[in-house]
Each structure stands twice: as C-alpha cells, then as structure tokens.
Amino acid sequence: MSFSKEAAFDLLRAAHSSGRLAHANLFTGPIGCGKSWLALRLAGLALDCPPDKVLAHPDTHIVQPESKSRRIVIAQIRELEQSVRRKPLVAGTKVALIYDADRMLPQAANAFLKTLEEPPSGSLLLLLSTLPEAMLETVLSRCIETSLHGTAAREASPEEAVLIEALGEALLRPLKPGTGEAFRFTRIVRDMLATLRKKVTAEHDQLLKADVAHYQKTSDADAWLRDREGQMKALSEAAVLRERERILQIITDVLGTALRVQHGYPSPHATIKSLAEKFPVPDLLRRLDALETLRRRLSLGVQEALALESSFLEMIITQKA
C-alpha cells in the first residue's frame, strides 16, 4: 500500500511519539513523490530541529552516490557506521540519510547489514530509493518500507519525451527487438548527448569570455588566464558527465517505473504501461543490469560511443536465460 507524503508523515510521527518508530526505514516511490520531504521531516522530529536545518545538523550523516560510476561504495558505508556509533554532538539521536540506496554496491550493502539489523542506540537510519527492486533482499528485509505514490503528473522534459518514445519504438514495435532497433536507439542517445555537450561547452565558453573581458581591465597576467581556462574546462567536463548521467537515469527510471507498474503503481505514460505488459520482471531486470554495465564501462574509461553501442545492444535484444 502506498501513501501520500503527508499521510506517511502523520503515521510515522505517531509512531515516533509512541516510541514505536523503527530504527531502519526505507522510503520508496517514483521521482517527485516526496521521499526527501518525508525523510527531512522525520529526521527533524528525531533531532528536534526544523526540516530545513536537518542537512546542516552536526548529528546528521549523509551518504549518496559519489564515485565516478555514481555508486555508493564500501568506504562510504564504513565511514557512516563509524559516525553513527559515536555519541551525538548536540541532539539525543544520530540520523543517517542514505539517498539512492539502490545504488549501493553489493559489497557496501553486505557491509551495512549488521548495522541495519542492530543499529547503535540512539540512531535513526533513513534509506531512500526510487528502485527498491534493485536492492539486495537482505537489505530490504531489515528495513520497514514506506511506499509513497506519485503526485500529479509533471510535464516530461524534452529528453524524457524523446527517450520514452525511442524506447517504445525499439522495444514495443518489433515482435522481437534486434540489432536494428538497438543501433537506432543508440544513435538517438548519441545525438542527444552531442547536443547537450555543445550546449554545456558553449555556456562555459561564454562564462570564460566574460571573465577574461572583466579581468583584462585590471591585469594582463597570463598565469591567471591559464588557470581560469583549466578551471572552466574541468567544470565543463563535469557538467557534461552530469548530463550524460541524467540521460542514463531517465532510461533507468522508465524501466524501473515499468517494474513498479507490475506491482500496482499507476502508469504515468502509455508507453511505460505497454512495457510493463509486454515484458516480465526478469526481462526488465536484465535490461536494468545492462544499464548498470554501461555505467561501469564508462567509469572504467571505455570509449563512450563503444560503451553505448555494446550496452544498448545488450539492453534492447536481451533474451531469457
């Protein structure tokens, strides 16, 4: 059963007031359903502070994907465990917020099992996930899940609309998706990334020109210009990587939402509903695995075009084992 974020908070607040709140909670639901809203308000109750002060509170400890491949690694979990075992600095409780908990590497998730099962006294663990199906069953079984349903449908971004349509063309139109569909989908994604890359580069070039024009009025130091060019190049490259991850996350969200539709969630899009009807759970999970393989290849420095082509081939034409 899923709840609105407000109804879920009322239930959890009552549990907290009566001393029945679980030490390990998992908040799940689609993007925009209010998982973070709920987590911050529940953490505010535990820390006795306003929700907008939670993230800056000295007894709040945050874990989120930070590695090059956007995964939560074991070192982050080890550091979190050490933090929640220490005495609180200000409040009577320590709160751990784990965003995108489905992004934990298996080693990290396994390392966290003991803490989930027996949290340190005076600690509250809050995990958030849009794709709990990708989490280890051993982690899920140690958390109390609160599922949130989506709010009113939001307008899809231009990239979302294009990618949803492209996935429909590749996976739904043909009786048996093949290499042709995979290559067409790859071309669409590559063209989209190229457009975004040009946009990001142009924006950073414009910022650099503005800085140079301003700086040249006061100094002509070449060293500053070289440093600034290096900084802007690094910022531009980081922004391009964020845009690439955003595109991959859209594809992941489409397939993940199709999984949730099979478990009773309302479908936000006709194409996603059709994906849920056509493909059984194992097929959708294998396609999600192909996307994770793509992220790993990219993190290892495999050429982007090659990584996209090989992984989308696996994603589009995956067959039952």
CA pair distance 54, 44, nearest whole angstrom? 6
| Residue 286 near residue 181 (C-beta atoms within 8 A) | no
The closest of 227, 235, 179 to 207, measured between CA atoms, is: 235
What is the third-level CATH fold of 2-148?
Rossmann fold (3.40.50)
CA pair distance 296, 302, nearest whole angstrom? 9
| Residue 42 near residue 12 (C-beta atoms within 8 A) | yes
Residues 6+ apart with CB under 8 A from 182: 170, 309, 312, 313, 315, 316, 317
Domain spans of the chain, in order of start: 2-148, 158-317
Taking only the tens of pLDDT, the chain with its 321 residues reads 678 899 999 999 999 999 999 999 999 988 778 899 999 999 999 999 999 889 888 899 999 887 556 789 999 999 999 999 988 988 889 999 999 899 899 999 999 999 999 888 899 999 999 888 889 999 999 999 999 986 554 455 788 889 999 999 999 987 788 899 999 999 999 999 999 888 888 876 776 676 566 555 555 556 656 666 666 677 677 778 878 888 998 898 899 889 888 877 777 789 999 999 999 989 998 999 899 899 889 888 889 999 999 999 999 986 544
CA pair distance 154, 32, nearest whole angstrom? 9
pTM for this one? 0.55
95: β partners? 60, 124
